[in-house]
Structure 1
């Protein structure tokens, strides 16, 4: 949900120097959500999150502008919300209890 908020708020900064920070945050949060998807065995989210991390990467930025970039911001926010609603990772205590460990 934080990533969706970052992307929606960052849509105000598209085309400015401050948007670089939005790129960093979106790319890093996409990798984090991708890691949770891997842990939850929701493999189908991994390529989606990697695509977001690549498109929003600040190191080698894509030269998107205007309406295309604004649409991508909102689309990625929707993807983050959907991922947040579907990806569930059990905590370590529950996993250990299921295995009979303390």
Structure 2
């Protein structure tokens, strides 16, 4: 499936959506996609950034490839796969669990 041009351009920019894009996306959004914690949060300029847990560093890095997973899962070939939307508390608990296993 070919993604729409507007979505492909977001992926090229690393997941940051400019504030002028409008829309009513709920931020912050916390999810576990497969086993990876992924979050979308508002940037200082009012835009949005998608961040994914980096297995090597244990930190969050910009990753626009998860944008469709969070907000348009029905557009994906696998209908979004395994996505578990969680509260901030549950998200932090799972992230801390992953980080503790790295030590």
Same fold flag (TM > 0.5): no
Give the structure with the higher percent helix: 1
Give the structure with the higher percent strand: 2
Q: Which category describes the TM-score, using the shorter chain as reference length?
A: under 0.3
| Structure exhibiting the larger radius of gyration computed from Cα positions | 1
TM-score calculated relative to the size of structure 2: 0.26
| Greater relative CO (CA pairs within 8 A, separation 6+) | 1
